[in-house]
Amino acid sequence: MDRYQFEDLISDFIENKLSMTQRKDFETYLDENPEAMQQLDSVKQVIASMKSMPEVSTSTDFMKNLNKRIAAEKEAQSVVKTTRSFAGYTPLMASLSAVVVVAVVLLGLEFIPETNNQATFSPTMAEQQVDDLPILPTQPNDDILAENEDDSTHVDEDMPNTTDFKDRIQLVGDRRP
């Protein structure tokens, strides 16, 4: 056993926690090294001195001060309980949250693009669209109707028969004049 091994085992020796073999080795080292014996005695004294140190007590006001702190804690807890009434939010926080939600919705509506669908059509917009139309020359309604009598269903008898392709189609090998 060397000095370091001896020092490592001092506490175990004092508290009687060494095995028989270790104890024998330890005692042999002590017999051979008087300064080791002195060190052992010194460590024993340190332990004894620490054990005999007087117990330190709390002051006479200790309980009074503690009770004050407990009373303050209870009061704080009761204040928290009474103010929590809207799903865990204080009334102030709940009001502020509601205002913020309404503001966001209104702002969102402002940013929706204008379209002609029914959802966004309003009388004022209709008036504006009419105003934007080009001004047409005024014409009596009867004339417009007269002009439009020749519609696509009318067949003019004087018109050449455009479906006669006899003279226009010449087949390959056709020797007709």
Partner 1 sequence: MPEEFRYTDEELIARFQDGDEQAYVELVNRYRDRLMSFIFRFVNDMEKAEDIVQDTLMKLYTHRHFYRNIAKFSTWIYTIAGNLAKTELRRKKRHKVTHLSHMGTEEREYQLPSVEPETGETAQGHFAEKQIQKAIQELPLHFRTVVILRDIQELSYEEISKIVDVPLGTVKSRINRARLQLQQALKEYR
Contact footprint for partner 1 (CB under 8 A): 7-8, 10-12, 39, 42-43, 45-47, 49-51, 53-59, 62-63, 65-66, 69-70, 73
Nearer to partner 1, 31 or 41 (CB): 41
Q: CB of 119: closest distance to partner 1 in angstroms?
A: 55
Indicate the helix (H) or strand (E) that contains 24. helix 20-32
Q: CB of 83: closest distance to partner 1 in angstroms?
A: 19
Nearer to partner 1, 12 or 25 (CB): 12
Is the C-alpha dihedral spanning 96, 99, 104, 107 positive or negative? negative
**Residue 13: which of 5, 24, 23 has the closest Cα?**
23
Nearer to partner 1, 58 or 118 (CB): 58
Q: CB of 49: closest distance to partner 1 in angstroms?
A: 6
Contact 26, 13 (CB under 8 A): yes
Nearer to partner 1, 49 or 117 (CB): 49
Question: What is d(CA 158, CA 95) in angstroms, rounded to the nearest whole number?
Answer: 85
Question: What is d(CA 42, CA 22) in angstroms, rounded to the nearest whole number?
Answer: 21
Nearer to partner 1, 8 or 32 (CB): 8
Q: CB of 73: closest distance to partner 1 in angstroms?
A: 6
Beta-bridge partners for 89:
86
Q: How far is CA 136 from the centre of its chain?
A: 59
Beta-bridge partners for 86:
89
Q: CB of 110: closest distance to partner 1 in angstroms?
A: 49
Gyration radius of the chain over CA positions: 56
